A and B are shown apart, each in its own frame.
Chain A
């Protein structure tokens, strides 16, 4: 079955770069996503990458995908206190015409001023 794994916690100093890692098992993934969830809020789509891409950059965010190792990472440059949140990695796959999204457990990012 599908499985998405993330480390549970990451602490960085304000201004440093943060790197959040994720591994997945479904080789038929079509899209991989990074979502941000702040306390008491829903999910916010940060960025996504199509499975045939290696890298995507969007302002302070850089997504790297190693499809061979099924490893996805999110780099946040110049991390700010407002970046403190839980970050979810997710993958979607199309199985028999159905869309299914599987989430990781989430990584709690703590930014120290």
Chain B
């Protein structure tokens, strides 16, 4: 069974640009969650999607948004990038939405210059 796939692995963007990250969950998993990891703030929950609907959202500004497609693949978008958005963005896949085990992808390393 293939694991969680995140693309791209590395990305460099300029301040003010926008970026879209992609996550393909494990086949059959319907929940996709996104997390931001930085040295200063640690791991923080961004949002969770289940059946194409956002089910929960962490404490991030509206510049951070996402969506989920009918095949459960998810994208995360960050608009008007700031230097502080530089981070490792991790996606996790779960079979259901009720707090079951989550499997993480390798992450996308975003650098904003």
Chain A residues with a Cβ under 8 A of chain B: 30-31, 33, 35, 41-45, 48, 88, 90, 92-95, 97-103, 105-106
Contacts and interface: CB of A to CB of B under 8 A. Distances in A.
Given A45-B103, A98-B48, A99-B48, A30 B43 contact: no
B97 interface: yes
Nearest to A43: B104
Contact of B45 (A42, A95, A102): A102
- Chain A interface main SS type: strand
Interface of B: 6, 31, 33, 35, 42-43, 45, 48, 50, 55-56, 88, 90, 92, 94, 97-107
What DSSP secondary structure best describes chain B's contact surface?
A: strand
Contacts of B45: 100-102
Contacts of A105: 42
Contacts of A95: 56
Given A42-B90, A42-B107, A103 B42 contact: yes
Contacts of A45: 101-104
Contacts, number: 71
A42 B102 contact: no
B104 A44 contact: yes
Nearest to A105: B42
Sort A-B residue pairs by CB-CB distance and give the 9 closest, nearest first.
A98-B56, A103-B43, A92-B99, A42-B106, A30-B99, A43-B104, A42-B107, A94-B99, A99-B99
18 contacts: A30-B98, A31-B101, A41-B107, A42-B88, A43-B92, A43-B107, A90-B43, A93-B99, A95-B56, A97-B55, A98-B97, A99-B31, A100-B45, A100-B56, A101-B99, A103-B35, A103-B43, A105-B42
Contact of B33 (A31, A44, A101): A101
Nearest to B88: A42
Specify which of A31, A90, A99, A105 lies most central, judged by the most chain B CB atoms within 10 Å of its CB: A99
Nearest to A29: B99
A31 B42 contact: no
